[in-house]
């Protein structure tokens, strides 16, 4: 029986980061991974690197460059001939990026002395891990500490069974070899909007069916309303309150039946993407006597330091409470590795940014205006539109705004919400500020380079107290 200081189950962003950090801290570490890639080799990197964050961003960037060449270069005085898209070549580029990054994780494991063990890991009693190899053989690992980072998988719904040909999940949507003439998307969340955007830019007629009656309900609604207008202008037909009841595949097309405003409707699509959320991959992961408990939704129960009910066993990433975000899982992995090594570190769950990589990007951190109102927190807000940004105008990318929320009495920043160019990077400035407990005035007093998109963050902070320079203020400067 092999013995380790740390055994990590799962090599996604939570797992591989935990394994690397544990090894850096001098702990003998192994990482168990069951997934395999197209070349039938172990696929390190989890959903994020293989079939999630990275490949979807590759397609988003490729499709946006196609859109720019086709529809947006003329404003710069650039003329092109007829622009075409080679979808198989685009998919090949995506696959090459995936191979490079997943191979990079393997290289990092070797450099840091992490042992890769191929197979399906199951937690047994006594801090043991049973590993079932692809050929069915089993072996057992003994560990002083176990970190469970098994991740999540797409949720399936009975009315739309996945066949990965006509009806696909988010993984199948990354493998289309041609542009669907009509594309249906079930779910108007992050994944649905991103994948819908990819194929809409390439020429698909995209219809998004969302069961909820509100659009992006977890986001600040001023930003959500702006986003809805932008997506409509881009050609995404988003139908709220549309509940899918049945699908029928015939002649490589799918008829989707759904209810909308108490009416029965149907649409026929060339492809249908089902992206209604993800669920924790906890089935078969735990022996009955492992001592690790699940909640009613299948998430592993942990405390604020990701400790399970079994001493020496931790769980991180998508398989525990909180948002299913790669960066959240990665930081949990670091925290757990450091705590195992004896460092008393914690994680600030109030400063985790969320991002939608459409164009324009949408990013947020902290509380929304609706949450502050519901909690009775006194607040003030300031916003600044990118149309007033010299850098955004120069780039012909002026859609959206920056919005900052601060406490009415202490001026401490409570949240930031951005829709616009480079929102994913701009919001990180406020994440850092919030981590240090900064006020809106702290941002307002900071010198920002000119001309930059970051100046929109500066102006929004100034606007919190009616001090914006490059737009009229709603209130007088104090």
Query: Mean pLDDT, to the nearest integer, of 27-40?
Result: 95
Centre a 10 Å sphere on the Cβ of residue 304 and count the other Cβ atoms it contains.
Answer: 10
Q: Where are the domains of the chain?
A: 2-154+279-347, 167-275, 352-463
Residue whose C-alpha is closest to residue 375's, from 330, 334, 407, 333: 407
Helix residue ranges per DSSP H, 113-220:
190-201
Four-way CATH pick for 352-463: 2.130.10.30, 3.30.390.30, 3.40.50.150, 3.40.50.300: 3.30.390.30
Mean pLDDT of 184-194: 98
Q: Measured between alpha carbons, how far is 146 from 8 in angstroms, rounded to an integer?
A: 6
Which of 250, 269, 86, 66 minimizes the C-alpha distance to 178?
86
Please indicate whether residue 450 is annotated as part of the active site.
yes
Residue 336: which of 319, 315, 353, 311 has the closest Cα?
315
- Predicted confidence band at 476 (pLDDT cuts at 50, 70, 90)? low
CB atoms within 10 A of CB 135: 6
Span 306-317, mean pLDDT? Answer: 98
Asked whether the predicted pLDDT for residue 333 surpasses 90, the reply is yes
Residues 41-54, mean pLDDT to the nearest whole number:
97
The tens digit of pLDDT for each residue in 247-269 reads 999 999 999 999 999 999 999 99
CB atoms within 10 A of CB 198: 28
Instruction: Identify the band that residue 477 occupies on the pLDDT scale cut at 50, 70 and 90.
Output: low
Give the angle 453-200-220 at the CA atoms, nearest 5°.
Answer: 50
- Find the catalytic residue in 343, 417, 450, 470: 450
- Which tokens in the block code for residue 295? 């909640």
Q: Could you please report the per-residue DSSP string of 16-35?
A: HHHHHHHHHTT--EEEEE--
Query: CATH fold of 167-275, please?
Result: FAD/NAD(P)-binding domain (3.50.50)
Question: Over 70: is that where the pLDDT of 475 sits?
Answer: no
Would you state the structure tokens that stand for residue 130, as one six-digit string? 């049973």
Model confidence band, residue 114 (pLDDT cutoffs 50, 70, 90): very high
CA distance 172 to 59: 13
Residue entry with tokens 């399936």: 156
Percent of the chain with pLDDT over 90: 98
Which of the four pLDDT bands, split at 50, 70 and 90, describes residue 92? very high
pLDDT band for 474, please (50, 70, 90 cuts): confident
Confidence check: pLDDT of 75 > 60: yes
Query: Strands 205-210, 361-366: parallel, antiparallel or unpaired by DSSP?
Result: unpaired
476 vs 384, more confident: 384
Alpha helix positions (H), 181-325: 190-201, 221-233
The answer to whether residue 94 scores a pLDDT higher than 80 is yes
The token duo for 370 is: 């609706």
Distance CA 365, CA 406 (A): 12
User: How does the average pLDDT of the chain come out, rounded?
Assistant: 97
Looking at the domain covering 2-154+279-347, what would its CATH class be?
Answer: alpha beta
Q: Are 416 and 364 in contact (CB under 8 A)?
A: yes
Topology agreement, domain 167-275 and domain 352-463? no
pLDDT confidence of residue 316: 98
pLDDT tens profile 417-446: 999 999 999 999 999 999 999 999 999 999
Q: Which of 209, 226, 249 is nearest to 398 (CA)?
A: 226
Rounded mean pLDDT, 218-231? 98
Strand-strand pairing, 167-168 and 271-274: parallel
What phi, psi does 252 have (nearest 5°)? Answer: 60, 25
Q: What is the DSSP letter of 76?
A: G
Stretch (H or E) spanning 338:
helix 326-340
Residues 261, 279: Cα–Cα separation, whole Å: 29
Categorize the per-residue pLDDT at 1 as very low, low, confident or very high, splitting at 50, 70 and 90: confident
Distance CA 87, CA 297 (A): 38
- The conformational region for residue 108 under phi > 0 = left, psi -120 to 50 = alpha, else beta, is alpha
Taking the CA of residue 195 as centre, how many other CA atoms within 13 Å lie in the half-sphere pointing to its CB?
Answer: 32
Closest CA to 25 of 272, 477, 339: 339
Contacts of 111 (CB under 8 A, 6+ apart): none
Which of the 8 DSSP states describes residue 409? T
Measure the N-to-C terminal CA separation of the chain; round to a whole number of Å: 70
Q: Which residues pair with 286 in a beta bridge?
A: 123
Tokens representing residue 197 in the block: 């955007």
């Amino acid at each position: 029986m092999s013995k380790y200081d740390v055994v990590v189950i799962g090599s996604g962003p939570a797992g591989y980061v935990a394994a690397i950090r544990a090894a850096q801290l001098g702990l003998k570490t192994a990482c168990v991974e069951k997934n395999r890639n197209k070349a039938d080799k172990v696929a390190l990197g989890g959903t994020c690197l293989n079939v999630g964050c990275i490949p979807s961003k590759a397609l988003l960037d490729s499709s946006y460059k196609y859109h720019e060449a086709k529809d947006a270069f003329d404003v710069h005085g650039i003329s092109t001939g007829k622009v075409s898209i080679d979808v198989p070549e685009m998919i090949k580029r995506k696959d090459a990026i995936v191979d490079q990054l997943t191979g990079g994780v393997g290289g990092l494991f070797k450099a840091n002395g992490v042992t890769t063990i191929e197979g399906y890991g199951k937690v047994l009693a006594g801090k043991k891990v049973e590993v079932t190899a692809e050929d069915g053989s089993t072996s057992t690992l003994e560990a002083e500490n176990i970190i469970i980072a098994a991740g999540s998988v797409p949720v399936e719904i009975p009315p739309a069974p996945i066949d990965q040909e006509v009806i696909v999940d988010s993984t199948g949507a990354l493998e289309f070899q041609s542009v669907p003439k009509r594309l249906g998307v079930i779910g108007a969340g992050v994944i649905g909007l991103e994948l819908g955007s990819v194929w809409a830019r390439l020429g698909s007629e995209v219809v998004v069916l969302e069961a909820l009656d509100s659009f992006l309900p977890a986001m600040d609604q001023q930003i959500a309303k702006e986003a809805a207008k932008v997506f409509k202008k881009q050609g995404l037909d988003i139908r709220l309150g549309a509940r899918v009841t049945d699908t029928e595949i015939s002649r490589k097309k799918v008829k989707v039946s759904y209810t909308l405003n108490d009416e029965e409707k149907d649409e026929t699509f060339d492809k249908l993407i089902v992206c209604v959320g993800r669920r924790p991959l906890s089935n078969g992961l735990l022996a009955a006597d492992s001592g690790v408990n699940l909640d009613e939704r299948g998430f592993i129960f942990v405390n604020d330091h990701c400790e399970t009910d079994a001493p020496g066993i931790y769980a991180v990433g998508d398989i525990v409470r909180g948002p299913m975000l790669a960066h959240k899982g990665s930081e949990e992995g670091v925290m757990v590795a450091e705590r195992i090594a004896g460092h008393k570190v914690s994680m600030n769950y109030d400063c985790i940014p969320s991002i939608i990589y459409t164009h324009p990007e949408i990013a947020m951190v902290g509380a929304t205006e609706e949450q502050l109102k519901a909690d009775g927190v006194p607040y003030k807000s300031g916003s600044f539109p990118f149309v007033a940004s010299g850098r955004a105008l120069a780039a012909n990318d002026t859609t959206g705004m920056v919005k900052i929320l601060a406490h009415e009495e202490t001026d401490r920043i409570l949240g930031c919400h951005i829709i616009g160019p480079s929102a994913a990077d701009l919001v990180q400035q406020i994440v850092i500020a919030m981590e240090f407990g900064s006020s809106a005035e702290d941002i307002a007093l900071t010198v920002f380079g000119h001309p930059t998109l970051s100046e929109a963050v500066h102006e929004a902070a100034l606007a919190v107290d009616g001090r914006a320079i490059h737009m009229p203020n709603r209130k007088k400067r104090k």
